[in-house]
């Protein structure tokens, strides 16, 4: 974890431990804040201290680096960066329940270990903790700007929920168009990335118009980030991703490659794909190979690559406009480039 995030991590730990300290120690009661600590990578399955994978943490890092790039001290954005990461992890716990995902970061998910009901409680508690961190952040900016920071935080949460609603709806549809899919990920994934970039600049005290520029930079980056994930889920190098080629296809995930393929298929090939897709809970290795062949024949890989490139180039161009000083922009540009070239 980058040293820049130490303060953010301390804030999150302090919040979780503070409320864990007030939680009644009743026989048989699940220590819910320790479950949260497990999800955040601080405890193992037996709720003993450990240091497991805590995820990319790129959203709070983006927030801090946007603050610095906008001329502020990153410490000014630490509390809102912590709120962003807590909110993100709230969405992950609920997302895992809805998607029936049994592992995250190479460990069992919260619902898989402690059941759906307690996982919902853990997610709800994380949401409340994110609100408390955002409230503290609002007190640290100029008095006339705190309410805007909070309002936008909650509007971002609503956009994430909207994106999840669309995503779940698309699972039952065979007619999802690329434009609709992009609108979904703009909400589910890019909204929080856009907020992280905006909040970092906002905490630095920049004018509203410039802060909006950082928001658009984050939106473009967030969409490109998700499209890169979609690409890796189908064509990623197994040695780098730790997953078999076509893993998203095996799990019947309707990501961008499948959406584009459905738009291009002939009627006969479309019927064949839907037969392969609906035959079972998981698509067989043979069927995955057949779908990969369809993706190749209809040149979907090139189209996805082109979209990923377009969004990341747009983000890079915006960054150049927002932060023309190469040295000041360097940490932020390095983060963007790392997200672009990542392989897993």
pLDDT of 69 above 50: yes
What share of the chain has pLDDT > 70, as a percent? Answer: 96
Least confident of 112-116, 140-144, 177-181, 240-244: 240-244
**In terms of pLDDT, which residue wins out, 226 or 283?**
226
The per-residue pLDDT for 284 is 87
State mean pLDDT over 211-229.
Answer: 97
Please report which confidence band the pLDDT of residue 340 belongs to, taking 50, 70 and 90 as the band edges: confident
Task: State the alpha helices, DSSP H only, in the chain.
Answer: 6-22, 32-39, 58-69, 78-99, 110-114, 116-140, 146-170, 178-188, 190-203, 208-235, 238-241, 247-250, 256-264, 267-278, 285-297, 300-322, 326-341
Distance CA 72, CA 76 (A): 7
pLDDT of residue 344: 42
3 state SS of 278: helix
Confidence of residue 279 (pLDDT cuts 50, 70, 90): low
Model pLDDT for residues 78-107, shown as the tens digit of each residue: 999 999 999 999 999 999 999 888 888 889
**What confidence score (pLDDT) does residue 192 get?**
98
**What predicted TM-score, i.e. pTM, was given to this entire model?**
0.94
Question: Which pLDDT belongs to residue 342?
Answer: 62
Nearest Cα to 287, choosing from 331, 262, 260, 251?
251
Work out the average pLDDT over 194-214. Answer: 97
Cβ count near 169 (within 10 Å): 12
Domain coverage including residue 135: 3-341
Three-class SS state of 129: helix
Task: Judge contact between 211 and 202, C-beta under 8 A.
Answer: yes
d(CA 77, CA 74): 5
Mean pLDDT of the chain: 93
pLDDT at residue number 106:
86
Question: 243 pLDDT exceeds 80?
Answer: no
DSSP string for residues in 150-219: HHHHHHHHHHHHHHHHHHHHHTT-S---HHHHHHHHHHHTHHHHHHHHHHHHHHTT--HHHHHHHHHHHH
Cβ neighbourhood burial of 272 (10 Å; 0-12, 13-18, 19+): middle
pLDDT of residue 280: 64
Indicate the burial class of 266 (C-beta count within 10 angstroms; 0-12, 13-18, 19 or more).
exposed
Find the farthest-apart pair of alpha carbons in the chain and give their distance in angstroms, rounded: 62
pLDDT exceeds cutoff 90 at 265: yes
- CA 292-297-299 angle, to 5 degrees, is 90
Burial zone of 217 (CB within 10 Å; 0-12 exposed, 13-18 middle, 19+ buried) = buried
Question: Total structural domains in the chain?
Answer: 1
For the domain that residue 314 is a member of, what is the CATH number? Answer: 1.10.600.10
The stretch 249-276 carries a mean pLDDT of: 92
Predicted local distance difference test score (pLDDT) of residue 244: 67
CA pseudo-torsion sign 87, 88, 93, 99: positive
> Alpha-carbon distance 334 to 219, whole Å?
17
Lowest mean pLDDT among 2-6, 8-12, 84-88: 2-6
H or E element that contains 2: none
Closest CA to 7 of 101, 76, 55, 62: 76
């Amino acid at each position: 974890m980058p040293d820049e995030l130490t303060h953010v991590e301390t804030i999150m730990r302090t919040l979780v431990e503070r409320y864990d300290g007030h939680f009644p120690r009743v026989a048989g009661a699940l220590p819910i804040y320790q479950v949260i600590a497990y999800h955040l990578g601080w405890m193992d399955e037996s709720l003993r201290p450990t240091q497991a994978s805590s995820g990319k943490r790129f959203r709070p890092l983006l927030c801090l680096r946007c603050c610095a790039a906008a001329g502020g001290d990153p410490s000014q954005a630490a509390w809102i960066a912590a709120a962003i990461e807590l909110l993100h992890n709230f969405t992950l716990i609920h997302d895992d329940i809805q998607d029936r995902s049994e592992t995250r970061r190479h460990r069992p998910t919260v619902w898989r270990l402690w059941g759906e009901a307690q996982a919902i409680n853990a997610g709800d508690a994380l949401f409340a903790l994110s609100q408390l961190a955002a409230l503290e952040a609002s007190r640290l900016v100029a008095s006339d700007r705190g309410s805007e920071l909070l309002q936008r935080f909650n509007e971002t949460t609503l956009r994430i929920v909207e994106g999840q609603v669309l995503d779940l709806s698309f699972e039952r549809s065979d007619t999802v168009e690329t434009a609709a899919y992009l609108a979904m990920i703009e909400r589910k994934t890019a909204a929080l990335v856009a907020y992280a970039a905006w909040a970092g600049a906002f905490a630095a005290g920049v004018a509203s118009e410039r802060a909006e520029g950082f928001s658009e930079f984050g939106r473009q980056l967030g969409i490109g980030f998700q499209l890169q994930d979609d690409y890796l889920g189908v064509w990623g190098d197994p040695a780098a991703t730790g997953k078999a080629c076509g893993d998203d296809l095996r799990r019947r995930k309707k990501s961008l490659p499948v959406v584009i393929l459905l738009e291009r298929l002939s009627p006969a090939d479309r019927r064949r794909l839907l037969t392969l897709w609906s035959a079972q809970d998981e698509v067989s290795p043979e069927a995955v190979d057949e779908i990969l062949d369809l993706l190749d024949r209809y040149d979907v890989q090139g189209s996805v690559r082109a979209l990923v490139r377009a969004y990341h180039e747009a983000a890079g161009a915006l960054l150049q406009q927002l932060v023309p000083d190469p040295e000041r922009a360097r940490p932020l540009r390095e983060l963007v480039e790392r997200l672009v070239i990542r392989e897993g």
